[in-house]
Amino acid sequence: MKKSVIKTPISDFVEKYALSSAVRFHMPGHKGEDFTGSEIFDLTEIDGADSLYQASGIIAESEDNASEIFGCKTFYSTEGSSLAIRAMMRLIDLYAGLKGEKTTILAGRNAHSTFLSSAIAIGFKVEWIYPEKGNYLSCEITPRRLGKILSSSKKLPAALYITSPDYSGNIADIKGLAEICKKYGVILAVDNAHGAYLKFLTPSSHPIDLGADICVDSAHKTLPCLTGGAYLHISNDAPSVFAERAKNALALFGSTSPSYLILRSLDKLNAYLNDGFKDKLRKTVNAVSEIKRELSEKGYALIGSETLKITVDANGYGYTGKELNAILRSENIFSEFYDDKLLVLMISPENSDEDLIKLRNALLSIPRKTPIIDLSPDFYIPKKIMEIKEAAKKPSYIERVERSVGKVVSEAIVKCPPAVSVVVGGELVDEKVKDLLIKYGIEELILVK
Ligand SMILES: Cc1ncc(COP(=O)(O)O)c(C=O)c1O
């Protein structure tokens, strides 16, 4: 990437307008008056500001800049990867439909809840690949495993949908999976919500560079972008209908009032990413690797290979994730996620050296205790009674989990984070499912009557 060639047309427009003393007879109703500090830059699609879903001006120019950076066709979402996932699934369904096929998606069971809502909204069938070990947050799919599944399929799925990196920091062999997908003519779709920064590692390990056809990244999760900023990326080798219909697919589920605060943030990010970000990232990756090395030496077991996450197997160190989190909280350090077993910390180049030292010192000062052996199951495969989309249409009611045994789930209620479901629509609640739901803190279900 060359330095300083990336312009910031959205940001320039918004800043010029904000300083121009324009008289605002348009939305939003705050008229630029200061309520939270950000109103002055908060516009809508006024004259000259372009239109997100019919972009031909400053937004199109900014998306072209992002496309240049990511080396594919990149489209903005101001409603997170959640919107981009729905759009991605719509494009795959459209493509399958154009080929005269009914859409079935083969998906890792650790899919985010927006994948489930896409199945309801779009109506595709889902065939799950379940974790062989671990818990709901991870689902290892090796090329070998995928090859076996596809070679024994009576009818090939339209796409393989994987989550990589997953919430606990595991990364799939996307290059290997892409080769198998290509061999069988199956689209490879990746939820890369946690991995926008992978593009800037050397070499890049971004899914599109490794052979994925389509993927989503939450810019806001790992890059300095306001919450909600995300990308839908389409490989130059993907079916042409993906890029042709991407805007429509996003518009199908997105708000007609996109946030210009987020668009400006995505736009400014282009210039930032193009100007020394790789070096900054390299420095952070090295610092995190050093902290991980010290933690391992101290006796911590760490999970996953993702460079910017530290995922601690808390039980192995003698604690629950909740207890480790409480110790960090007492030092004013906030984690991304914790549960009985895990503690997940997300780092970015915007963390200062002092932040990292504080985290390192806090973790290293926690004494190691006898490991907690928790033999209760972390995962169970519920019995499928009907498709997700079918279950969602049935008459339904809300019930306490303890009173749900013997019933079929109509719509999953998913706790966020991590927004991964123990039981999904169309599956039977038996004693084991009930126990797991209680273990993971889910209290109510929407059941088929
Ligand atoms: C794996 C995964 N996919 C998708 C999403 C949705 O991303 P966003 O918050 O950008 O809508 C999340 C959110 O946490 C996630 O963890």
Are 64 and 90 in the same domain?
A: no
Q: Provide the 3-class DSSP secondary structure of residue 338.
A: strand
Under 8 Å between Cβ of 108 and 139: yes
Atom of ligand 1 at shortest range from CA of 230: 10
User: Atom 7 (ligand 1): residue with closest C-alpha?
Assistant: 81
Question: Do the domain assignments include residue 376?
Answer: no
User: Atom 9 (ligand 1): residue with closest C-alpha?
Assistant: 80
Question: Do the domain assignments include residue 373?
Answer: no
- C-alpha 373 to ligand 1 mean position (Å): 31
Evaluate: CB of 205 within 6 angstroms of ligand 1: no
Rounded to whole angstroms, the Cα distance separating 139 from 412 reads 19
Question: Which sign does the torsion angle of CA 263, 258, 57, 48 carry?
Answer: negative
Rounded to whole angstroms, the Cα distance separating 445 from 443 reads 7
Sequence-distant (6+) residues with CB within 8 A of 374 are: 315, 340, 341
Rounded to whole angstroms, the Cα distance separating 166 from 175 reads 16
- C-alpha 2 to ligand 1 mean position (Å): 30
Report pLDDT for 333.
98
Question: Do the domain assignments include residue 8?
Answer: yes
Are 233 and 303 in the same domain?
A: no
Atom of ligand 1 at shortest range from CA of 84: 11
Q: Provide the 3-class DSSP secondary structure of residue 303.
A: strand
Are 414 and 443 in the same domain?
A: yes
Evaluate: CB of 108 within 6 angstroms of ligand 1: no
Evaluate: CB of 218 within 6 angstroms of ligand 1: yes
Closest CA to 107 of 134, 127, 93, 136: 127
- C-alpha 11 to ligand 1 mean position (Å): 25
Question: Do the domain assignments include residue 147?
Answer: yes
Give CB contacts under 8 A, 24+ apart, made by 275-279.
Answer: 275/3, 275/4, 275/6, 276/3, 277/200, 277/349, 278/1, 278/200, 278/202
User: 215, 240, 275: which is the final residue of a domain?
Assistant: 275
| Pairing verdict, β 337-338 and 342-346 | antiparallel
Structure token digits, residue 66: 């992002």
CATH number of the domain bearing residue 166: 3.40.640.10
Under 8 Å between Cβ of 352 and 389: no
Sequence-distant (6+) residues with CB within 8 A of 20 are: none
Q: Is the bond preceding residue 349 a cis peptide, omega within 30 degrees?
A: no
pLDDT tens, position by position, 133-155:
878 889 999 999 999 999 999 99
Domain count, the chain: 4
Are 57 and 195 in the same domain?
A: no
Q: Pocket of ligand 1, candidates 79, 218, 231, 311: which has the most ligand atoms within 8 Å of its Cβ, to mutate? A: 218
CATH number of the domain bearing residue 349: 3.90.1150.150
pLDDT tens, position by position, 415-445:
877 888 889 999 999 999 999 999 888 999 9
- C-alpha 100 to ligand 1 mean position (Å): 31
Evaluate: CB of 216 within 6 angstroms of ligand 1: no
Rounded to whole angstroms, the Cα distance separating 308 from 325 reads 18
Report pLDDT for 246.
98
Question: Do the domain assignments include residue 74?
Answer: no
Evaluate: CB of 80 within 6 angstroms of ligand 1: yes
The residue ranges of the chain whose pLDDT is under 50 are 1-2
Report pLDDT for 136.
83
Are 92 and 241 in the same domain?
A: yes
Closest CA to 190 of 208, 168, 175, 167: 208
Query: Residue holding tokens 């809508």?
Result: 44
- C-alpha 113 to ligand 1 mean position (Å): 9
Are 318 and 435 in the same domain?
A: no
Are 357 and 284 in the same domain?
A: yes
Evaluate: CB of 84 within 6 angstroms of ligand 1: no
Evaluate: CB of 229 within 6 angstroms of ligand 1: no
Question: Do the domain assignments include residue 375?
Answer: no
Q: Cα angle vertex 253, ends 262, 156, to 5°?
A: 120
Evaluate: CB of 110 within 6 angstroms of ligand 1: no
- C-alpha 254 to ligand 1 mean position (Å): 16
- C-alpha 112 to ligand 1 mean position (Å): 7
Closest CA to 437 of 410, 400, 411: 400
First to last CA, the chain: 57
Report pLDDT for 1.
46
Rounded to whole angstroms, the Cα distance separating 142 from 147 reads 9
Are 104 and 204 in the same domain?
A: yes
Q: Is the bond preceding residue 382 a cis peptide, omega within 30 degrees?
A: no
Domain that holds residue 409: 388-448
CATH number of the domain bearing residue 423: 3.90.105.10
Are 320 and 358 in the same domain?
A: yes
Evaluate: CB of 217 within 6 angstroms of ligand 1: no
Q: Pocket of ligand 1, candidates 82, 162, 216: which has the most ligand atoms within 8 Å of its Cβ, to mutate? A: 82
Question: Do the domain assignments include residue 128?
Answer: yes
Evaluate: CB of 112 within 6 angstroms of ligand 1: yes
- C-alpha 73 to ligand 1 mean position (Å): 21
Question: Which sign does the torsion angle of CA 428, 431, 436, 437 carry?
Answer: positive
Report pLDDT for 134.
74
Evaluate: CB of 213 within 6 angstroms of ligand 1: no
Atom of ligand 1 at shortest range from CA of 228: 10
Atom of ligand 1 at shortest range from CA of 220: 10
Are 128 and 243 in the same domain?
A: yes
Are 307 and 169 in the same domain?
A: no
Q: Provide the 3-class DSSP secondary structure of residue 242.
A: helix
